[in-house]
Every structure is written in C-alpha cells, then in structure tokens.
Amino acid sequence: MDSASSDEFTPTFYIGQHESDRVRVTPELLRQAQDCNYDMLTTPITTPYFHSRVLTILSSHFEELDSHPNRSLPVPTIPSLSPVDTPLAPGEIISQLLAVVSPWIDLCSPDPVVYNLSRQVLELEVAYAAFCGIGNIILPCPKLHHGKLSGEGVTQYACAVQDVLNVGHYIQMSVSLPMMDNPEQDSDNVIGSLAERARAQYLGLSEDGSYKNSMDELEEDDLGSTFVLPRKKPAKVDFFGTWDAWNVIRTVCKYNNRLFVALSIPPHLPPLSVSSRWHSEPLRLLCITSETFFKNPGGYPAFTHNHQALLTRYMRIRNPPWLLLCDVGPIPGFDDPETLLSPAEGFLTSNEAADPSSPTPAEASELQRKGSKKSNKTINDPTPHLNYLRNLQRRQPPRTMLERFGAGYQDYLQAPLQPLTDNLESYTYEVFEKDPIKYDKYLLAIQRALIDWRDQCKRASGPSGQIVVAVVGAGRGPLVTRALQASESTGIPIEMWAIEKNQNAFVLLQRHNEETWGNRVNLVKSDMRSWKGPLRQAAPYRTGYTGQWPLSCNEEEESSNANTASNGLEPFEPQPPTHGPIDILVSELLGSFADNELSPECLDGILPLLNPTHGISIPSSYTAYLTPIAAPKLHADISARLSNDPEAHNTPYVVMLHAIDYLSTASRPSTSRSTASGKSESVPSPVPNILQAWSFSHGPAEPLPAGSANKHNERHARLTFNLRDRAVCHGLAGYFEAVLYPGVELSTNPINMEEKSPGMMSWFPLFFSLKIPLYIPDASTLTVSIFRATDNRKVWYEWMVESWSTLMGGTGGGEKRRVRLGASEVGSSKNGGCMM
C-alpha cells in the first residue's frame, strides 16, 4: 500500500528550557522565552537561601549528635517556607512553568538524617507548588550508588514519592532518570548536595572514607579459591539499572497515572533494547543537554542518525513526551542582550539542519573531538539547539497508512466484538470496509479457487453446472461483491448465495441485490448453523461441471435432457424441495486471535453442506500466535477499571499496541516501514519472537464425533520464550495468520504482516493481561500456558506465565538446574466468554 506521501500531519514538539542555576522566572523572562520559540520554562520551587538554611540545620544536627554520641536526638523539623525561601507565587504564568524539586536532596540516602531532611524538603516543595497551581513537577534523579551500596535506597525514594502523590492531587510528577545506570556519572555534581553529607558509617565506609574490610569484599574465583576484590572495581554500565529503579518506584506507587519519567538522552545511546524499554514507559519529558548534540561541520549542534531515529520513535507515542533543553545557554536577550537576534538574522537554515551528512555515532565523536580543537566557528544563532529541534519537527517522516488509520486508537483498550451474539452496527461494518487490503486478498483467493476449480475439471454443484459460492456472515455484502467480481473477471459463472443472521444488515443486502447485484444473489436470513443449504427444486437436474466454460453444446443438451429423463422420474412431477451442496464457502469470522469470534464453532455448523469431494473453505486455515510484552500503560489503564469491573484483568482486549516492549526478541532489529505497532521508515525496532499457539483448518467436513460437545475445538499451548534482559511481563500480545487459499494469506503477525498482507488494518492485536505483573531477571525464560476452553455453551481463554532461571550448583552439586522464579495468577475470560 502506498505510504503517507500526502500526509499533512506535523507532530507537535513542546519544547521547554531548563537552567540549573535559574533562581526565578518572571513574566518578562517567560515572554522572552516564548518569543524565542520555547513553549515553557522550568522554575525552582525554593531559593538558594532555603538551601543554605537546610544545610545549616543538617550541620547543626550532626554537630549536636557528635557532642552527645549516646543520646538519640530527633531529626529537626524544617520550618515552613517564608517569602525568602521561594521564588514562586500563584499567578498567570504558573501554568507554563515546570517546577523542579531541589536536586540537592537525596531521597535514597542510607543516612537516616539525610533521608529524613530530604523528605521534608520534598514535602514542603510539592505542597507549596501544588498550592501555587503548578501542574507538573520534576523530581530529582534517584541516586543509585552510595559508597558500596547500589540501588538500596530506591524503595525509600519510592515511598517518599508515593506520599507526595497524595499531597498534590492534581500534580503530575516526572522522575528524572538517565537511560542507563553509569555509576561513574552518578557522582554528585550538584553543589551543596545532601548526599555528600551522609555519614561514612551508613555508606559501608570507614571513617576515612575507605571501604570497610567486610566479608562482602571476599569473592570466589572460578577455581573456588577466595580472593579479595581490588579496592575499587571499575564501574560497569548497567543498561537496565535505571529502568529497574523506575520499575520499583512505579510499582510502589501502584502505577499511579500521575507519575511519569523525565528521561535524559545521553550523547552515546544505549542498545536498542534499552531505548525500546523506555518507549513503553510513560515518558513525560526527554531531557536534552548540549552534550546530547554533536557539532556539525558548520558548527551547529545536530543529532546523530540514531538520536534522530530515537526522537522520531518517541515522538510518535500517543501522548508524545515534551522536550526539555537543559543548560544549553540562557534565554537570549535576557541575561545577555547581545545575543538577541531576530530569527531571520541567525537561525539555522533548513538545509543546514537537514544535514544529509548527519554522522553515525562514531563519526559524531570524531567530529566532536575535531570540533573542540579547531572548529570553534561562531554561529549567529542565539538558540541553535532549539532551532535544530524545530527543524527536526518539520522534517519528521510522514505517518504511515497504519499510523493515520490508527490515530487515536494507539493503546486504546476495546472489548472484542462478539458478532455471533451481538448484531453489529452499520458503522462497525463501515470501518471493516475501509480496509481495502483484506477485500483484495479475498478477491484474489476466490479468483484462484474458481480458476483452479475450472482447470482441475472438478464437478460443480449448481443446477446448470455453475460453481456454488456462499458467503456466510455476509454483513453489508463486501465479500459478495468480491465473489461476483471474481466470477466476472475469470469468466467463470457462479451461483451466488449470501447468508447473514443480522436482520438489520440483511436489509442492506436486499437493497444491494436490487440496486447493484442485479438480483443475482440468493439471500438467506439465517444463522449459518441452521441453514440447510442452497434450495433446489426436486426436478432432476443433471449437476456437474465438466471443465469447460461456457458449457459445450453437448453438455447443455445433456443438461436439458437430464431435466426430463434421468432418475426415472416423471418430468415436472412436484417433489419436496431438496438442498444442494456449496462448492466454495467464503467466511470472514476471524478475530484478533484468529478463533476468538468463534469462527470454528460457526463453520462447524455449515461445513457439512460443503461439497464433500471438492469443497473449498476460504479461509482454509488460521493460526493464533503469542508473545509476552511489557505494557505498563495498559496495565495501569486496566487496573484503573477494577473498581467498576472486577473482571477487568480477565478480559482479552483488542488494542493497537504501541507503547509496549517485546520481552523476547531476536538479536537483529528491523527497520521495516510499518508494523503492528505503527513504526515508520528507518526507525529500527526490535524483532519479537512470536510463537504459534494453535491452528484450525476447514475443508469438507469429517463427521464430528457423536456428543463431541465442541471438545474438538478446545486447544492448549505451552510456549517457552528466552529473555535476555530483565523486565516486567504485563501480559501477552496475540496475533493471527490466515491462509485464505494456498498462496493468499492474511497476517497481523509483526514478523511477516508486511510480506503477507501489507497495510492491512482490519485487526489490532489481542492483549491478555496479567493481574499482577511478573518480574523476570536477566537471562531467564518465560513459559506461557494458554487454553481455549469450551463447555458447549460458550468459549473462553485461560492463560498464565511462569518465569525460570538456570542456576549452577546448589544442593544438587555442580550441575545446571532450572528453577522456577515465579508464576502469575491464571487469567480467565470464562465469566465474559463468547456465547456459542
């Protein structure tokens, strides 16, 4: 399908500016910033005066503790704010400000006094910002490393955040986090940080700041001999370290929908798996410093290809994050009037910004090095970083067809249709009919089936030897139109039947028959399972197509002779009506997980009418597929429904998955143009491992076992997925592939949908939710068990997930052992199952 060449859509980039040493924002400064094309500014909540007051309180308390080592003294209370403590006041500009909680507090500190005071500062600041009417607050980055301790303070941080979420009931909070944990960059670059004041005894350090010699430092080498770790181990980047901290925070805060991430974009991007993980999280801000850019040969700041692709991907999230330029220079004209230029004078041209020679990360660092040596070319642009982002905004690739069609549906939960029990509205049919791909595929499948039928000289069942085609579940008739077109385009006559149980849609079928189909279609208003088949007069027609179109003279003759002579019946003697077979049965009863709209059960009721030797079902088979995903936003949305709907987690939802992360992926990313989650050209995305759950095939029916009670339509699967990186599983994404006719397929499976049915939009995936998300450590496996169950009245699914790890040694000796780490609850849609 054609891409989005005519797409007029330009994404909105909300861009703010942050200066670490800003003291206050005046209306004039804000106006000036907006004149420069910024959308918002950050503001501190408290002043340096307040900061020094807290430092004094802390120092005095420590002094007192030192002078009374045996007394337990309560941590002092920070007095409430006074006018000198804060630059903020309620007023007109407040809605355009992002308030920044003091970065010098340490909510992860192992020192209880530092933690306590930090928490007090947080509470005072959030309460005052809320009072002033601030809508968004940026929380300081949780400090993950304290001396020998790593990640220990995250739960403290989380508890503090949980509490302040209840202080400001409308405020949205974003936790500042780098994309990955680099302990070397976790050092305190904030002047006057309380973290520096933490006492050595709480950091696992001796008084002089060196590591205490504890058993923790003793480790065994591969040969089992004990050795002492070197003083300072080289710091290792933990790609998922900050995500892990975020996961703890949002879990403690119960996936609060006012809690977000302010993600810092580093100059060197981590692997795709890391940026993909963040893509699934609620990103409110992307923090971009001058280091995130490299300097292009013209001396302008620019992004690498990878940074551009990352931004494109993140900015296509349903609620795209805002961009925050941090410490890229002051607002021109305010602190430095020299820099105030009109845009026409000095802004980056779009050619310069387009920069076709945009480098790879390696080239960028090379340029950076060279640039810092010689290319100190001065540029006449007071806001080059901002202008670069504005240019990027204009140059965003157009949306794919799928993105345009799905706009507004991304991550939007829909209960699956139940076309068997419910009568669909005309509008729903209209939406189906907007997808030309599905109908093109059906047309092709019917054409091929007709041609093969003719070429293989199969006997047909129509009264004059035509091939009998029945569309069952015809809706408003699009497949009937395709069947008639297939007959016309191939020149192969058919006898056309259309069966529909929705009496409202049936009115339109009748109208179509009169107005567009020339009354060529035999319409039947019935449930297909109780239909007896094409009505035949008992007149002893000869049936059977012998392979030539049009019928040969002889055959026509034989045919008319047959009316009078065969079977030994008297011609025209009235006989009770009989029913003939169907040669080609066309149905579209597929759901997002193939069989979830009960196609197997419906077809069971009509397949006995299929020509027993040559009959063809279109589709001939369909297969359901699954993969585990992280989908924190869906989890939060579903959990929020629980108070009104206790079955919320037991409902499989149709959803255009977007802000999700595939947990089990192949090593190579794809750069395909558009996928199930709506990626665009040249935006690499991980390739998920998607495994087959089960299949159904349909052809001339074998008689069902007596009293089968639909048991033959039960299915179950147990699938194992390997995971490289730690993650949280929120549920399973379900897809399907269908073979309409050999060589003509439909697919929603992200692995091959682009080859099999490019641009098809009729089905979004199905999401099976886990009530309690399952945490999975690095290098584990995940086993998915899923059942299609039935009691002959309805059909439902049951699913669960288990996580496993392989351990060495232990009580069993030195062998590898697979241990189960955890298991989810069993999800079951039994209560809301599909009625048969």
Ligand X SMILES: C[S@@+](CC[C@H](N)C(=O)[O-])C[C@H]1O[C@@H](n2cnc3c(N)ncnc32)[C@H](O)[C@@H]1O
Residues forming contacts to ligand X in the complex (CB under 6 A) are 419-420, 424, 429, 432-433, 473-475, 478-479, 499-502, 505, 527-529, 588-589, 602
| Cβ-based nearer residue to ligand X, 293 or 796 | 796
Question: How far apart are CB 834 and ligand X at their closest, in Å?
Answer: 11
Q: Each residue of 495-523: b (16+ CB within 10 Å) or e?
A: bbbbbbbbeebbebbeebbeeebeeebeb
| Cβ-based nearer residue to ligand X, 140 or 478 | 478
Question: How far apart are CB 427 and ligand X at their closest, in Å?
Answer: 12
CA–CA gap between residue 347 and residue 341 (Å, rounded): 9
The tokens for 64 are 């007192």
Q: Which of the following is catalytic: 19, 125, 403, 597?
A: 597
* Residue 794 contacts residue 833 (beta carbons within 8 Å): yes
CA–CA gap between residue 749 and residue 733 (Å, rounded): 10
Instruction: Check the annotation: does 314 bind a ligand.
Output: no
| Cβ-based nearer residue to ligand X, 382 or 419 | 419
CA–CA gap between residue 31 and residue 54 (Å, rounded): 33
Residues 562, 565, 569, 570: what is their CA dihedral angle, to the nearest 10 degrees? 110
The DSSP 8-state label assigned to residue 517 in this structure reads: S
The closest residue (CB) to ligand X is 473
| Cβ-based nearer residue to ligand X, 54 or 602 | 602
Question: How far apart are CB 416 and ligand X at their closest, in Å?
Answer: 11
Cα–Cα distances in Å, from 774 out to 363, 635, 682, 782? 41, 12, 32, 10
CB neighbour list of residue 433: distance below 8 Å, 6 or more residues apart: 439, 476, 478
| Cβ-based nearer residue to ligand X, 512 or 635 | 512
User: Can you give the C-alpha Rg of the chain in angstroms?
Assistant: 34
Instruction: Check the annotation: does 633 bind a ligand.
Output: no
CA–CA gap between residue 750 and residue 410 (Å, rounded): 16
Question: How far apart are CB 491 and ligand X at their closest, in Å?
Answer: 25
Provide φ and ψ at 498, rounded to 5°.
-135, 125
Taking the chain, what is the end-to-end CA distance rounded to the nearest angstrom? Answer: 36
Scan for tokens 């034989």, then name that residue. 558
Question: How far apart are CB 728 and ligand X at their closest, in Å?
Answer: 34
The tokens for 98 are 């992002």
Scan for tokens 């006997």, then name that residue. 459
Q: Which of 73, 49, 47 is nearest to 60 (CA)?
A: 73
Question: How far apart are CB 175 and ligand X at their closest, in Å?
Answer: 44
* Residue 325 contacts residue 389 (beta carbons within 8 Å): yes
* Residue 265 contacts residue 648 (beta carbons within 8 Å): no
* Residue 444 contacts residue 744 (beta carbons within 8 Å): yes
| Cβ-based nearer residue to ligand X, 117 or 528 | 528
Q: How many other β-carbons are positioned within 10 Å of the β-carbon of residue 706?
A: 6
Instruction: Check the annotation: does 429 bind a ligand.
Output: yes
| Cβ-based nearer residue to ligand X, 310 or 590 | 590
Amino acid identity at 347:
F
| Cβ-based nearer residue to ligand X, 591 or 615 | 591
CA–CA gap between residue 472 and residue 619 (Å, rounded): 12
CA–CA gap between residue 332 and residue 776 (Å, rounded): 48
Residue 178 parent element (H or E): strand 172-178
Question: How far apart are CB 698 and ligand X at their closest, in Å?
Answer: 14
Q: Which of the following is catalytic: 588, 601, 745, 802?
A: 588
Question: How far apart are CB 527 and ligand X at their closest, in Å?
Answer: 4
| Cβ-based nearer residue to ligand X, 359 or 475 | 475
Instruction: Check the annotation: does 38 bind a ligand.
Output: no
Question: How far apart are CB 609 and ligand X at their closest, in Å?
Answer: 13
Beta bridge partners of 468: 495
Residue 481 parent element (H or E): helix 478-490
* Residue 799 contacts residue 668 (beta carbons within 8 Å): no
* Residue 740 contacts residue 619 (beta carbons within 8 Å): yes
702 is catalytic: no
Strands 653-654 and 766-776: antiparallel
Q: Which of 157, 313, 351 is nearest to 242 (CA)?
A: 157
CA–CA gap between residue 59 and residue 55 (Å, rounded): 6
Instruction: Check the annotation: does 527 bind a ligand.
Output: yes
Question: How far apart are CB 530 and ligand X at their closest, in Å?
Answer: 8
| Cβ-based nearer residue to ligand X, 450 or 499 | 499
Instruction: Check the annotation: does 438 bind a ligand.
Output: yes
801 CA to centre of own chain: 19
**Which parts are annotated binding residues for S-adenosyl-L-methionine?**
429, 438-439, 500, 527-528
The residues annotated with a catalytic role in the active site are 588, 597
Q: Which residues are annotated as a binding site?
A: 429, 438-439, 500, 527-528
